[in-house]
């Protein structure tokens, strides 16, 4: 009798499984995912007031992904103090057919730099971080270069630090670091490319040294400082350090496409003549523990949007601190640079003032855009190396600014 009951139970369970698959067999994996609930988070959230702008932006994103062969992307927009649209598109993991959701974590690339600026700003407001002292005050182990290098110069990319070499070996770092100061070994013994203050030259290594200074001033590991001074206060619940040795919930896969022109963003296996999309490939391994301040964070567009909101009006930071962060720096000769304190200062194609930062990483492309006058923030991230957004973020910004 027990045997007959067990067989009956198995048949019933098998029938239920068959019924489930028959229900989804005519739908795409994404349709099935949406119709049976999303265990990995919501596909989309949108405020009713902004449905038209969201529909316009959705079409723009889908056209962009199709044209560029992007496997997975998420976007978020914040207006007047709240996130009003957040949506995932495509796949976080192509092989396993896991869709992108609003919780999917992407590599920040250099959108990590404004996070470093925020931590620096909070410490500065608390009287624990000075901007115009030798960086050795906070990082005693950093070698004397024969010129004073200050945190202000590091935040403005005027410290004379070099960038990644063209062979790409440093961009595809494979060494795991547990202390940010240890990672300075990559460049600390190299000569300066110019006297500090005389030249604007973008350098992620300069931001890494700034992060080490922030760590030294706070007396805590850099990622702990970010957690306490930035992520927790701003409700950035999905933002963490990019640890290659840890299990991180909702982390996306990383991809690149063959056929790209040679670049240190691409491994030689994917190089080509620059024509066509090429084949979708798994991106090569890269351990970003060597550059948490300059480009080693995992985050979501929603969190980047919340971060941007905190910089549109006083509250998280004082008014004078915001002015400090968003005033373009000048070289010692008086020439204005396009950069302030780890933010680019610019205008959009319609002449509106903007603050922004892009981020390129192995298997990721990010962008965060702030419209201070309109109080709008746009954030986009995807899981493809060198996706090249073009003016997508401006188009999305227009849709939400001109929503009526």
Q: How far apart are CA 313 and CA 62, in angstroms?
A: 32
Three-state secondary structure readout of 309-337: HCCCCCCCCCHHHHHHHCCCCECCCCCEC
Query: Measuring CA to CA, how many Å separate 401 from each of 87, 137, 209, 371?
Result: 18, 45, 37, 9
The domains located in the chain, with CATH, are: 44-401 (3.40.710.10)
pLDDT of residue 34: 40
Q: How far is CA 147 from the centre of its chain?
A: 32
The series of mean pLDDT values per 10 residues for the chain, 404 residues long, is 39 38 35 42 87 97 96 98 97 96 97 98 98 98 97 98 87 94 97 97 97 98 98 98 94 94 82 88 95 97 98 98 97 97 98 98 97 98 96 98 82
Q: Which DSSP string corresponds to 169-189?
A: TTTT-----SSHHHHGGGTTT
User: Which residues are within 8 A (CB) of 338 and not within 5 positions of it... i.e. 6 or more apart?
Assistant: 200, 328, 344, 345, 346
Phi and psi dihedrals of 281, rounded to 5? -125, 155
Instruction: Give residue 404's pLDDT.
Output: 56
Q: Which of 355, 385, 210 is nearest to 292 (CA)?
A: 210
State residue 268's pLDDT score. Answer: 83
Classify residue 174 as exposed, middle or buried by CB count within 10 Å of its CB (0-12, 13-18, 19+).
exposed
Place of tokens 């084949």: 279
Residue 264 is encoded by which pair of tokens?
A: 């240190």
């Amino acid at each position: 009798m027990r045997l007959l009951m067990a067989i009956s139970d198995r048949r019933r369970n098998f029938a239920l499984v068959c019924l489930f698959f028959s229900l989804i067999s005519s739908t795409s994996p994404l349709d099935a995912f949406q119709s049976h609930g999303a265990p990995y988070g919501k596909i989309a959230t949108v405020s009713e007031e902004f449905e038209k702008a969201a529909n316009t932006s959705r079409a723009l994103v889908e056209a962009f992904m199709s044209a560029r062969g992007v496997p997975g992307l998420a976007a978020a927009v914040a207006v007047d103090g709240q996130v009003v649209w957040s949506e995932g598109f495509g796949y976080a993991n192509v092989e396993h057919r896991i869709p992108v959701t609003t919780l999917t974590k992407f590599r920040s690339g250099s959108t990590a730099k404004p996070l470093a600026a925020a931590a620096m700003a909070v410490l500065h407001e608390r009287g624990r971080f000075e901007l115009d002292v030798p960086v050795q005050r906070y990082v005693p182990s950093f070698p004397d270069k024969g010129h004073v290098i200050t945190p202000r110069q590091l935040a403005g990319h005027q410290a004379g630090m070099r960038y990644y070499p063209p062979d790409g070996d440093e961009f595809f770092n494979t060494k795991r670091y547990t202390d940010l100061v240890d990672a300075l070994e990559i460049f600390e013994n190299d000569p300066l490319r110019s006297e500090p203050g005389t030249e604007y030259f973008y350098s992620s290594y300069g931001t890494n040294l700034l992060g080490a200074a922030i760590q030294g001033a706070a007396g805590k590991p850099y990622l702990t400082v970010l957690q306490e001074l930035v992520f927790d206060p701003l409700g950035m619940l999905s933002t963490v350090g990019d640890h290659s040795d840890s299990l991180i919930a909702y982390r996306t896969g990383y991809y690149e496409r063959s056929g790209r022109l040679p670049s240190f963003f691409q491994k030689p296996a994917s190089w080509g003549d620059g024509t066509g999309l090429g084949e979708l490939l798994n991106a090569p391994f890269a351990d970003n523990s060597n550059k948490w301040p300059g480009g080693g964070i995992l985050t979501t567009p929603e969190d980047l949007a919340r971060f941007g909101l905190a910089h549109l009006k006083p509250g998280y930071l004082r008014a004078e601190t915001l002015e400090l962060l968003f005033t373009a720096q000048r070289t010692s000769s008086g020439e204005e640079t396009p950069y302030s304190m780890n933010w680019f200062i610019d205008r959009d194609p319609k002449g509106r003032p903007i603050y922004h930062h892009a981020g390129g990483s192995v298997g990721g492309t990010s962008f965060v855009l702030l419209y201070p006058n309109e109080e709008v923030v746009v954030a986009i991230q995807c899981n493809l190396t060198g996706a090249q957004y073009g003016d997508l973020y401006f188009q999305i910004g227009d849709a939400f600014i001109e929503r009526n």
